[in-house]
Structure 1
């Protein structure tokens, strides 16, 4: 359905530029409603750009631009909790990319464009609550170790048990740390097959598109909402008699916590063909 609207066009007498009359509920950047722009953004996290463009009757480039703007807004608003048990691994998508996970919650926290030391240091250095990270599980990739030691010197590095049999001499302190801190990076490494499936189904998504679909798809986040506690109070009822009333209050003034992308939910959506 298309909507034709007659609008006024004005010219600024000071600078000579022309501009159109603003319309309610119409997106200022595109000739479509705000609701359609939001819908396209939401759908682009679950579907291919080509299928959305075909359904709406738009150019695929327009869908990609809306997707990019939508993801930029999500980057500003979606915040994942910093894991106390962090996993660092990599996945090869065109080239090696760094994967950050929350081992305790079995969730994805972030995907970095590469696994270089500078990139990892920049991410960890700007991470809220990085001093609360207790252990970091990883393989024997030196840039990971150096980045963690540079930014989070108090965090204990633990080499994943599957890599213990290699390079024992060079990594002995970190390898033996597993026995004092038995955390494993298995959940992070299990992401590799899921990400490869998504990349294959998307017929070659760009890294930015694949990262956004993994991190920001609605319904895959592991969230913990503030708890309420029951409280009974005595007060007069409408007839003037003493009565007991039940109220519910927050246990603590904490906001909702988002621990990242739940791996099991992500796997289920992929298997059902919904991602």
Structure 2
């Protein structure tokens, strides 16, 4: 029932909101914990309540009957030492570990409700645990790395992921050049083959300086999105020359322009064909967008390069003049063509890193006030908990042996008293075998 070593159950009370188990610790000390004298006498019981891990879907607590002792030699009083309980908090060690584990998966408020303790207690345990995880964290950075940024609390945070193993690697407090440069310089000896990123000049300049042999691949979705944006801007510009009703109708049907033509239903294709037949300028923009998508479907880099050159040559001058048409898309190929076309040598996207951006935002929104450090720890360690060094508070083997040596013995045979089937306080003077012989 209790499943705690060296503890015996006295009673169980199932309340509506909490389960309370009355228990007694079965190992009695034989010496004073101050002077090691064996001249100790019992000094009355003491009841102490400990929080336990949730049981059967509701909070659980242990009402422990602890024995007090008085030493005749040094005149000190003490409570019998117990195992299974946290040394600094009124809770079991497994409850403490439960809060630590859940702090990576749930909000502090929900954990406090499940355990039946104050939210501040959960926050204190979680902060200490998450900081210890951060201190012990040593990521393995190699292979194909995705980098991106996401906005948390009004600030852009730099996120790094392992695209092949699909694991988050790091979140930095900002994406400023000194911050990103320091992090990359710290890992300059890492065996990184590819960086997948968006078209941010700052990232590119740092990567080429720190990792001159790495390949940069521009995420294809950032590129093809610009083709859709160009068509949408042309639609908006042309709608201003139409009556208001036509402009509103175009707005309602803009999804027909954004979707690939091959993915439309027959009804959608019919409506789009009718629209493009009556609006030749939109038809030209839509056809350019469809042809641009075909570039990424080419089997080789050479074929893609050839189709790209053909596509650039066929863009009419009147829809390549400013920010409201295809000019931004054409311009990026003057500066980023090599990195964009590297996709055909390393066909991978930054989709996983983009997904991590959304996960981080959800964690931050659920927490309502989480610090950057807490969101970072939750993102990095939810499914990847680093191994912590042994805590100094854990008893050594010598201490464990000493505790075992002080176990009270059966008054008849001298064997350790195990209390497996004892039912009353008088039975605790015997081991199980001698108890059966009584």
TM-score (norm 2): 0.42
Structure 2: state its 5+ residue gaps: 1-19, 21-48, 51-63, 70-79, 224-328, 386-438
Picking from 160, 182, 189, the partner of 1:122 is 182
State the match for 1:168 in structure 2.
333
Picking from 375, 379, 384, the partner of 1:214 is 379
Distance 2:204 2:68 in 1: 60
Distance 2:199 2:365 in 1: 28
State the match for 2:370 in structure 1.
205
CA displacement at 1:209 relative to structure 2? 2.2
Distance 1:157 1:48 in 2: 37
Do residues 34 (structure 1) and 93 (structure 2) align? yes
Distance 2:354 2:81 in 1: 50
CA displacement at 1:162 relative to structure 2? 2.8
State the match for 1:233 in structure 2.
none
CA displacement at 1:108 relative to structure 2? 2.0
Picking from 136, 139, 153, the partner of 2:195 is 136
State the match for 1:108 in structure 2.
168
CA displacement at 1:31 relative to structure 2? 4.5
State the match for 1:43 in structure 2.
102
State the match for 1:245 in structure 2.
none
Q: Which has the higher contact order (CA 8 A, sep 6+)?
A: 1
- Deviation per CA, 1:65-90: give whole Å up to 9, x if none: 21111112222445443231111011
State the match for 1:91 in structure 2.
150
Preserved CA contact (<8 Å) 2:188 2:211: no
- Deviation per CA, 1:119-175: give whole Å up to 9, x if none: 222222333851x10110111222222332232222112222233436332333333
Distance 1:44 1:116 in 2: 30
CA displacement at 1:195 relative to structure 2? 3.0
Structure 1: state its 5+ residue gaps: 9-20, 223-275
Number of aligned residue pairs: give it: 208
More strand by share: 1
State the match for 2:213 in structure 1.
154
What is the aligned-residue RMSD (CA, Å)?
3.1
CA displacement at 1:187 relative to structure 2? 2.3
Distance 1:167 1:99 in 2: 24
- Deviation per CA, 1:232-271: give whole Å up to 9, x if none: xxxxxxxxxxxxxxxxxxxxxxxxxxxxxxxxxxxxxxxx
State which structure, 1 or 2, has the greater radius of gyration over its C-alpha atoms. 2
Preserved CA contact (<8 Å) 2:150 2:158: yes
CA displacement at 1:41 relative to structure 2? 0.9
State the match for 1:266 in structure 2.
none
- Correspondences of 1:222-237 after superposition (within 5 Å): none
